[in-house]
Structure 1
Amino acid sequence: MTDPLLRAQLLPQEKPPKDRYNVAYIVFFIMGAGLLFSWNSFITAADYFGYLYPGAHIDRTFSLAYILAQFTAIILVINYGRRFSPAARITTGFTVFFVILLVIPLLDVAFIRDDKGTFSTLAVTVGLVVIAGTMDALEQGSLFGVAGELPEVYTQAITAGTGASGFIVSLLRCITKAALPRTRPGVRESAVLYFLIGAAFIAGVLASYRLLRQLPIIHYYERRKREREGEAQSILHLENGQSPVRCQRWEPNAGPPSLKNSPASPLQRDLSFDAYLSAPGSPHSPPSPPVLVELDSPQTAVTFWQVFRKIWLFAVMMLLVFLVTLSIFPGFLSEDVHSGLLGDWYPVLLITTYNTFDLVGKMLPLFFVVRNDKVIVSCVLLRALFFPAFLLCLHGPAAMGAEWVVFTLTAMLGATNGYFTGVLMMLAPKRVDPHEAETAGTVMVLFLASGLAAGALGGWLWLL
């Protein structure tokens, strides 16, 4: 006798439109770059702020201010953020980023005298950093949530974009710094130019987001999301006519199976393809086997803890990744290691090295994704070895303090940070039901911010 739970009314689904010329991928990449652009702009201008505020431990101060503001704001977004649409949160965040990057050069021109900052200008600057961290929290969960409703390659585009942000900002700082004299007035003039170009970039990100919302592929997945939230399609019925017990939907296979046969996975790919072929109205020669997506009842409210229980391991690993990274970058690299050969270029080049390899790491999931949980956990835990390695650069043999050793360790720190951030952000939304993707993005961003906050606090321990 056929198990009634396996007898489904399966409705054919239209194929998602193609991302012509990879426009959606490119826009998500650009928005990922914009997401951390203001943060990277502050920390990469370490030479400029160091001249204005000597002895203020400026990168450590910025890190702590930004990250604690971000962490606090994420808590508020979790509780109250759904009162506003993702589009409103994303647009507001980028608009405020644009204003912040304009205010910094205006502050320099209007209030900095004799190439020295004052307590008031420092307080205003730190206040702007706090606002930037708040806006980051406002839009980051929404942006990853929107991408999480699409195939996972678009989440990878955002994480790659965040890596590109650091690389672009570092390259911009190197160009503007090299273009003007290595004097205090020259550093200030180059910084004014640097922040103005950054503001123009954010204006381009806002224009790109307007384009994204018009793309057919975005309209398709937004419509699918509304269907999931408002209708119970393709419901499995019991033979005796009882109420439906769960919802399922056939969807196009967007990529290689990542969680096959996993009991915790919402993507059940081990059902017979013959059942699909025999369903009324289904195509007879599909290009690839479809995916049967198990959905919670559309009437079930999505809660933070409900989603956290599904992805807690990935969330904790995200925290540990950034705990290690932010304990070393940017404070240790910009303040604690020195080079007589490179002078004030040394922190700029170290930050550029980190950002470059962070970008490389975030691009690697395009070609290879580690999907084994044990391997991911082992690699993340091994990153703790960066602590004794960098400690030896300060207090070990003279050879360990050589520039090439510090650059090599910095490259490894950036590459591993980028890769595991990308992998965790890609896999987490696929461990939950599609309508929970935005909440999953918020969970991951919360733990990312928790790691950032813990790392920012840990960065001060190097001064002991």
Structure 2
Amino acid sequence: MAIAPETETPARLEGMFKATVVCWILGFGSLLAWSSMLTIGDYYGKLFEKYHPSRALTLVYQPFAFGTIAILAYNESKIDTRLRNLAGYTIFFASTFALLLLDLATSGKGGIGPFLGICAIVACFGVADAHVQGGMVGDLSFMCPEFIQSFFAGLAASGTLTSALRLITVAAFEKYKNGLRHGVMLFLAICTFFEFICILLYAFLFPKLPIVKYYRSKAASQGSKTVAADLAAAGVQTKADDETMQQGRLTNKQLLFQNIDYTLDLFLIYVLTLSIFPGFIYENTGHHQLGDTWYPLVLITSYNVWDLISRYIPLVKWLKLESRKGLMIAILARFLLVPAFYFTAKYADQGWMIALTSFLGLTNGYLTVCVMTVAPKGYKGPEQNALGNILVLFLLGGIFAGVALDWLWLIGKDSF
């Protein structure tokens, strides 16, 4: 039979702080590769201008992410979470490094060949994202809500910090010959290093933290098989009890119907966000005083900074929106941003666009954390793991639909 969870200890409380920090770093690493692709969109935009890389690469990424998470979510109860997450972070590391090698091998030249190579690497990013994001969210869903919040704050931080790093590299190299490319090379090298750090943290530190062992032991006692390898890595022996696992366990279909509003919330949040960001930001905001190089980078940074800040707002209890009806109303009202962006790009100056992009990030991060921390409550460990995977499935589904709708902004443009 499964072991009983350990009791509350000062070591466990100390482990909670460490685990929260590690969750933030792992969240950072799980979106770092893709944030890097978005942030160097200025470079690829000049290199592959006629292929609309900011839109095309996003559209390549999402089918692989969505297809993989659909398979993994359906089979989540049978999949070793440790192997799944380590595979995801390893693919992120290898693919980011491959992106760097590809640019070195082609000497930064454009053309259909290098672009197809980048598309293949981006497809690997999508597969890795589905492994890590679904696996981590499922795993953290039966732990503290603070871990979920910290993980999603790390996701947003990947965009913020890559944007800041990109601004620094652009400023440092813009006066040099091929300065834009040299900045991208340094940028990708740093991102590759951080992905390697995430592999080490998840493999050797995270499973051994007392509070993580506590929650995984509790999940194992409720019949979860997905935590066995992580517990074994931490020196905790368990024996799966199939009868316990099946007793009273809700099916994925039942979990979906009980939480259909939460899944739709996430789908609609990301349909709206990705129908605007990043394609519209790079290609449809016009020309302003900041120039073609700096203007989209400032907009991307504004979005990422406010997306990060907003993910900490729900930590203040009275600012956290927990009403199911209230969340749906707020998310539907957010679609007013579509005409707002259209008219701002057409008639307003850059200050209004920066403010509107910041608000897009603010609402995206805040509403995401509210939904993700409220939804898993009231279930046993195996059900919370399954629900976490279902929520990520709809989140990635929303992103997929959003990047497809993003192409509608090109209708009527000569370059379409």
Tell me the TM-score normalised to structure 1 length.
0.79
* 2:376 corresponding residue in structure 1: 429
Residues 381 and 184 from structure 1, CA distance in 2 versus in 1: closer, same or farther, beyond 3 angstroms?
farther
In structure 2, the residue matched to 1:275 is none
- The residue matched to 1:149 in structure 2 has which SS? coil
Opposite residue 343 of structure 2, the aligned amino acid is L
Whether 1:43 and 2:38 are equivalent positions in the alignment is: yes
Q: State the Cα distance separating 1:341 from its structure 2 match.
A: 1.6
Q: Check conservation: 1:311, 1:431, Cα contact below 8 A.
A: no
Q: Deviations over 1:42-70 (max 9, x none)?
A: 01101111121112111111111111211
Aligned-partner residue type, residue 429 of structure 1: P
The structure 2 residue matched to 1:414, chosen from 338, 361, 365, is 361
Q: Distance in 2 between matches of 1:107 and 1:58?
A: 16
1:369 paired to 2:320: yes
Confirm whether residue 85 of structure 1 aligns to residue 80 of structure 2: yes
Counterparts in 2 of 1:161-200, with a 5 A limit? 161-182=154-175, 185-200=178-193
1:307 aligns with 2:300: no
Q: Given the alignment of the two structures, is residue 129 of structure 1 paired with residue 129 of structure 2, yes or no?
A: no
Task: Map residues 152-231 of structure 1 onto 2, 5 A cutoff.
Answer: 152-182=145-175, 185-209=178-202, 210-229=204-223
For the structure 1 residues 418 and 308, does the alpha-carbon distance in structure 2 shift closer, same or farther, using more than 3 Å as the test?
same
Residue 213 of structure 1: SS of its match in structure 2?
helix
CA contact (8 A) 1:228 1:435 kept: yes
Aligned-residue CA RMSD in angstroms? 2.0
> Deviation digits for residues 187-208 of structure 1, max 9, x if unmatched?
1111011000000111111222
Secondary structure of the equivalent of 2:246? coil
Gaps of 5+ in 2: 225-242, 412-416
| Kept in 2: contact 1:141–1:438 (CA 8 A) | no
Q: Measure how far apart 1:81 and its partner are.
A: 4.6
Distance (whole Å) between structure 1 residues aligned to residue 187 and residue 144 of structure 2: 35
Q: Which runs of 5+ in 1 are unaligned?
A: 1-10, 231-295
Distance 1:122 1:364 in 2: 40
Whole-Å Cα distance in 2 between the matches of residues 328 and 455 of structure 1?
8
Question: Given that residues 43 and 62 in structure 1 are in contact (C-alpha distance below 8 angstroms), is that contact kept between their aligned partners in structure 2?
Answer: no
Matches of 1:21 and 1:422, distance apart in 2: 19
Which TM-score applies when normalising by structure 2? 0.88
Q: CA shift at 1:431, angstroms?
A: 4.3
**Matched residue count:** 384
Which deviates further from its counterpart, 134-143 or 381-390? 134-143
Q: For 2:266 and 2:122, locate their aligned partners in 1 and report how far apart those are by CA, in whole Å.
A: 23
Among 243, 260, 269, the alignment partner of 1:321 is 269
Higher helix share: 2
Is 1:72 aligned to 2:57, yes or no?
Answer: no
Contact 1:357-1:415 at 8 Å conserved across structures: yes
Distance change in 2, residues 1:224/1:193 (3 Å): same
* Bigger Cα displacement from structure 2, 45-54 vs 337-346: 337-346
C-alpha separation between the residues in 1 aligned to 2:187 and 2:223? 45
Could you tell me how far 1:433 is from its partner in structure 2? 2.9
Within the candidate set 347, 354, 377, 2:296 is matched to: 347
Q: Is the 8 A contact 2:77 2:386 kept in 1?
A: no
Q: Is the 8 A contact 1:67 1:452 kept in 2?
A: yes
- Structure 1 runs of 4+ off > 4 angstroms? none
Identity %: 32
